[in-house]
Amino acid sequence: MTIHKGRGFACINYPIGMNLGGDPSQALVHSTPDGKFMVALSSIDLGQGMKSVTRQIASETLGVPVEDVYVDTADSDTGPHCMGSFASRGTHRVGNAVIRAAAEARKQMMEAAAEELEVNATDLDTDGAGNIHVKGAPSKSITIAETAIAAQFKQGRTLSGRGIFLIPPSEADPETGDMTPVTCFAHAALVVDLEVDDETGEVTVNHINSAYEVGRALNPKLVEQQLIGGAWMGVSHALYETTEPNYPARDHGPEDFNTYLQPGPGQIVPHDIAVLERPAEDAPYGGKGPGEMCANPVLPAVANAIYNAVGVRCDYLPITPEKVLRGIREQGGARPQAVRA
Amino acid sequence: MTKKPISFMLNDAEIGIFVGEGAPLIDELRRNAGDLTPKQGCNQGTCGACTVLIDGVPHLSCITLAETVDGKRIDTTGGLAGGPNLHALQDAFIQGFAAQCGFCTSGMLMAAKALLDANPNPSRDQVIEAISGNLCRCTGYEPIVDAILAAAARLQGRAV
Amino acid sequence: MVAVDTYPTMAEAAGALAEGSRYLGGGTIVMRAVNYGDQSFDRIVRAAQVDRGVGSDAGGIRIGAATTMADILSAPDLVFLHPVARSIGGPAIRNMATVGGNLFAENPYGDMAVALLALDAQVVMTSGQSQPIESFLADRDHARGIVGAVIVPRVDQHAFRFRKVSRVKPKGVSVMSIAANLRHGDPRVAFGNMAPVPTRARGAERALAQGVNDSSITAACAACTEGLQPADDALASAWYRAEVAPVHLKRLLLNEGAV
């Protein structure tokens, strides 16, 4: 038995969102009578942290404590329209919509406070702790709860805002095809170290090193969680998962999670991540989106590492032990490529 | 279809329900006893989301015949917290970002509780073994393993 | 809709089995079929008192059919079967899956049956009738009655080897499993998921009869797929299984590499 070590590299420019129809998302923000704020979305949080990030964005824009913001993503009947949770678009598209909605609500909140304090709204600021005060005179202040109560019961106004984000339309140049399909890219580079058993074709992934440029990491723990879980999914797609193990034949498809293979907890790959922050101009507080791209570069990096280890180039997924072993047999044995230090 | 009366301890409450003949325990827990914490994933015994403890040891409630738990004790995630105080495992899962979509979490917590009840000071490999029948699609497992080890340390009064 | 009839003993349950009924052991096979809407049966037969004991018997060690994989793991007399039991499922499955049920588990399951085959276990029905596991497995689709227990000989822990080849770690179903009882003169080698039922590798056994050494290992590996009928499934192709079976048998015989 010989175990061959291999290293593979891949990098990615990942477009955030899509171009189709301007890829819009909407948000509605309103205050409750006691000065809490509701953010209504129909964007779905499927575990990636949409609720946490939009809550932070709303809190930052409104100038109110994050504890006083609630995000309701429950229902596409009652929430304003969203194109969906895909294409790593949530933070960017929905976040921008939330900023616009929250900014409008803040404007009304400041006007309501100004009426109570008998000053100009432009002279007011929030302290982020639940108070609105006159700039340079912190003692002349009103709580946001008092402001909301006054707006609701005295002034007869709502503290609310509407927001939509739509990317600028970009038609293709009929002569050249030139267009700007997306406005914002995230980037990553990733190195996979693995071992190939040349008698069985089995691949063991030993280590992943990656650098991700995702704009500002609005919630660093959520970003890390996405990148670690996503890399696992990338390894899974690269080496395990398929509904058609004999593609293009359709037979012997898996029928449960025992036969639809995914790496188990005994196959955790240590993953060192460097998150680089280059805030994007049109992104909410600079945050792009680490969604899909956290899995994608793992696939070519694994394929490249297998080639580096045994000289077998697999060009469709998953790269099963059988494909590796057949490749080794067809070329008359493992052919380790240059060692990359 | 005939219904059969059974009674059992669900967490700390004595429960009496009529169960359907041939019905799996998960259906009766969720629809009849009203405990929605065990999750119905694959219904084939392959994902672990429905894991509950029967008389203290983990079982898959989707492939347990409901009437067989008559007179037994069942523990679910619904009984983990003591009033407003989360169980150390729940707390560690939150602190360690050990859940994303959360669908596996109930089963993971019960598998982990069974481990810590039997072995308060497990090794990393023992934690991995304990959750080897529970699938997670989001986290890559590492935060879950770390959280269980952190909870074990806290329950033992050790620094993490 | 499924009816459930519970009898006091396994023997009485066996007497009540008829066309369209299935005996419920640990539930991992039958309840899965219920959930799937399997129309081949509409009645579950079970017993209130089941045989879940491990104890000495004239022929070796008697393992009640309702003994779970977890029970095996806590039985000091069965230490040689611990690696086999541990390789099956996660903890919840091991608290449910029984030895009796494993005899009927179709590919890619049934690793305990592979081990029992390599041990020349006897299968004892609740009627008291007994037969060698090899003939039992060959005809298991037509088995009548309920398995009450299996009897395994006491074996040298070092002579008994088991290896399960899974792609998912620490637990996954078998690409194949191999069990070997390397007793001198009359060894046994059995493969799981290399034929419709667990099957002995007679070519390998023949080669190893002279003892385990470099040349007999080479001969055993060369002959190990003789009589096997590996098939394609979602985990691997027949080609791949036949190609790597000698590799995994060699590693088992040399005690080499990760299990």
DSSP structure string for B74-131: EE-GGGTSBTTBPPHHHHHHHHTT--SS-TTHHHHHHHHHHHHHH-SS--HHHHHHHT
- What kind and span of H or E run contains A194? strand A185-197
Chain A positions touching B100 (Cβ under 8 A) are 47-49, 225, 229
First to last CA, chain C: 43
In this prediction, residue A38 carries a pLDDT of 97
> A259 and A236 in one domain?
yes
Q: Is the pLDDT of residue A234 over 50?
A: yes
Closest Cα partner for C239 from A329, A256, A331?
A329
What's chain B's average pLDDT? 96
In this prediction, residue B160 carries a pLDDT of 60
Closest Cα partner for C119 from C153, C147, C86, C158?
C153
Q: What is the largest CA-CA distance in chain A?
A: 87
Mapped onto helix, strand or coil, the DSSP state of residue B139 is: coil
Identity of the residue numbered B106: S
Q: What is the total count of domains within chain B?
A: 2
Closest Cα partner for A229 from A17, A47, A50?
A47
The per-residue pLDDT for range A94-111, each reduced to its tens digit, is 999 999 999 999 999 999
Region C75-96: mean pLDDT is 97
Tokens of C43: 């009645």
Q: Confirm if B61 and B52 have CB atoms less than 8 A apart.
A: yes
Residues 6 or more apart whose CB falls under 8 angstroms from that of C214 comprise: none
Buried b (16+ CB within 10 A) or exposed e, A81-90: ebbebebbbb
Q: Given its phi and psi angles, is residue A87 left (phi above 0), alpha (psi -120 to 50 degrees) or beta?
A: left
> B116 and B51 in one domain?
no
CATH number, position B115: 1.10.150.120
Mapped onto helix, strand or coil, the DSSP state of residue C44 is: strand
Tokens of C83: 């690696």
Q: Residue B65 domain-assigned?
A: yes
More confident of the two residues C157 and A265: A265
CATH of the domain spanning C160-254 = 3.30.390.50
Beta strands A185-197 and B51-54 are: unpaired
In this prediction, residue A1 carries a pLDDT of 64
Q: How confident is the model at residue C20 (pLDDT cuts 50, 70, 90)?
A: very high
Tokens of A91: 């933070």
Q: Is the pLDDT of residue A132 over 90?
A: yes
Q: Residue A170 domain-assigned?
A: no
**Residue that terminates a domain, selected from A139, A165, A191:** A165
Whether B142 sits inside 8 A of A258 (CB atoms) is no
d(CA A109, CA C64): 74
Query: What percent of chain A clears pLDDT 90, i.e. is strictly above it?
Result: 88
In this prediction, residue C259 carries a pLDDT of 47
What's chain C's average pLDDT? 96
Q: Residue B160 domain-assigned?
A: no
**Residue that terminates a domain, selected from A101, A133, A165:** A165
Whether C247 sits inside 8 A of A199 (CB atoms) is yes
Closest Cα partner for C118 from C32, C211, C183?
C183
Structural domain boundaries enclosing A236: 3-15+183-330
Nearest C-alpha of chain C: how many angstroms from B156? Answer: 23
The per-residue pLDDT for range A18-74, each reduced to its tens digit, is 888 889 999 999 999 999 999 999 999 988 899 999 999 999 999 999 999 999 997
The per-residue pLDDT for range B44-76, each reduced to its tens digit, is 999 999 999 999 999 999 999 999 999 999 999
Chain C positions touching A263 (Cβ under 8 A) are 168-169
Query: What percent of chain B clears pLDDT 90, i.e. is strictly above it?
Result: 95
In this prediction, residue A170 carries a pLDDT of 82
- Alpha carbon distances (Å) from A88 to A15, A259, A292: 8, 29, 6
CATH number, position A207: 3.30.365.10
Asked, as a colleague might, if the bond just before A248 is cis with ω within 30 of 0, I would say yes
**Residue that terminates a domain, selected from B46, B79, B112:** B79
> B92 and B75 in one domain?
no
> B70 and B18 in one domain?
yes
Q: Which of B44, B101, B139 sits opposite A46 (nearest CB)?
A: B101
As beta bridge partners, residue C49 has: C9
Q: What angle do CA A293, A298, A301 make, to 5 degrees?
A: 130
Q: Residue B48 domain-assigned?
A: yes
What's chain A's average pLDDT? 95
> A35 and A9 in one domain?
no
More confident of the two residues A223 and C184: A223
> B127 and B92 in one domain?
yes
**Residue that terminates a domain, selected from A138, A165, A192:** A165
Q: What is the total count of domains within chain A?
A: 2
Q: Residue A188 domain-assigned?
A: yes
* Assigned CATH topology for domain C54-152: 3.30.465
Q: Which of B59, B67, B131 sits opposite C96 (nearest CB)?
A: B59
> A197 and A160 in one domain?
no
Q: What subunits touch chain C, counting only 3 or more CB pairs under 8 A? A: A, B
Q: Confirm if C249 and C189 have CB atoms less than 8 A apart.
A: yes
The per-residue pLDDT for range A179-219, each reduced to its tens digit, is 887 889 999 999 999 999 999 999 999 999 999 999 999 99
In this prediction, residue C257 carries a pLDDT of 65
A273 at the B interface (CB within 8 A)? no
d(CA C209, CA C217): 11
> A156 and A226 in one domain?
no
**Residue that terminates a domain, selected from B79, B102, B125:** B79
Chain A positions touching C235 (Cβ under 8 A) are 245, 259, 261
Q: Is the pLDDT of residue C258 over 70?
A: no
Chain B positions touching C3 (Cβ under 8 A) are 2, 21-22
Q: Confirm if C57 and C151 have CB atoms less than 8 A apart.
A: yes
Buried b (16+ CB within 10 A) or exposed e, A17-27: bbbeebbbbbb
Interface residues of C toward B, Cβ cutoff 8 Å, are 1-4, 24, 27-28, 31-32, 34-36, 44, 46, 70, 89-93, 95-96, 170-171
Whether B22 sits inside 8 A of C170 (CB atoms) is no
State the number of CA atoms in the 13 A half-sphere of A229 facing the CB: 25
pTM of the model: 0.95
